[in-house]
């Protein structure tokens, strides 16, 4: 028995040495695993922090996007309002231009009508002036002929008043040819004056002798 124990003694040292070496390896692996775990935890913490920062940045960007969308909607509303206002202004301007053109057409038509009326009035005025001049000429002619008739009448009256019985006897004498001729010529002259003194409408005024 003692011999067996003594024989196994070297093997026991070997086993113990192997156990010590295994424990060292296990400790080394444990430290390594612990370090890796710590690194992983550190990386996880960094990733979590990065995730939180990314989420915060995402939320910030989302808020900015919402604000930009709101601003865009507001700007689009303003653009639409301005477009509607511009369209209304243009429509009003077109309406005013159309109304102005229509008014200009009416004014032009009225002006042309007034010009036509003025032309007609001027033609009537010229016709009336010509008629008045003709009537003035006729009046002048009538006045002249009236004066001639008046003078002839006065001359006839004077001749009648101065014609005596002696003159009548002279004319009736058989040998009073000269007196008869003179009397006939004087009577013919007075008759011509009376005839020339007649007023004939639209007749040319007799030429002065």
Burial class (CB in 10 A: 0-12, 13-18, 19+), 83: exposed
Both structure tokens of 163: 């014609």
Whether the per-residue pLDDT at 192 is higher than 90: the answer is no
Q: How confident is the model at residue 122 (pLDDT cuts 50, 70, 90)?
A: very high
- Supply the mean pLDDT for the chain: 79
- Give the residue, 205 or 182, on which the prediction is more confident: 182
H or E, element range at 101: helix 2-162
**pTM for this structure?**
0.39
Measured CA distances, 69 to 57, 73, 80, 200 (Å): 18, 6, 16, 107
Q: Are 190 and 152 in contact (CB under 8 A)?
A: yes
What integer pLDDT is reported at residue 64 of this predicted model? 92
**Cβ contacts of 197 within 8 Å, gap of 6 or more:** 145, 146, 148, 149, 152
Domain ranges of the chain: 135-196
């Amino acid at each position: 028995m003692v011999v067996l124990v003594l024989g196994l003694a070297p093997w026991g040292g070997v086993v113990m040495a192997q156990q010590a070496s295994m424990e060292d390896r296990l400790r080394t692996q444990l430290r390594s695993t612990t370090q890796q775990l710590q690194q992983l935890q550190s990386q996880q913490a960094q990733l979590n922090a990065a995730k939180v920062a990314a989420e915060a940045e995402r939320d910030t960007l989302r808020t900015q996007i919402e604000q930009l969308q709101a601003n865009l909607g507001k700007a689009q509303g303003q653009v639409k309002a301005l477009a509607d206002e511009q369209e209304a202004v243009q429509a009003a301007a077109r309406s005013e231009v159309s109304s102005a053109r229509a008014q200009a057409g009416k004014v032009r038509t009225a002006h042309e009508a007034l010009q036509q009326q003025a032309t007609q009035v001027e033609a009537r005025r010229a016709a009336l002036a010509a008629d008045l001049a003709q009537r003035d000429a006729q009046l002048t002619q009538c006045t002249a002929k009236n004066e001639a008739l008046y003078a002839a009448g006065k001359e006839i009256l004077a001749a009648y008043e101065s014609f005596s019985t002696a003159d009548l006897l002279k004319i009736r004498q058989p040998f009073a040819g000269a007196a008869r001729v003179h009397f006939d010529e004087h009577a013919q002259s007075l008759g011509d004056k009376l005839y020339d003194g007649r007023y004939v409408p639209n007749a040319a005024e007799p030429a002065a002798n």
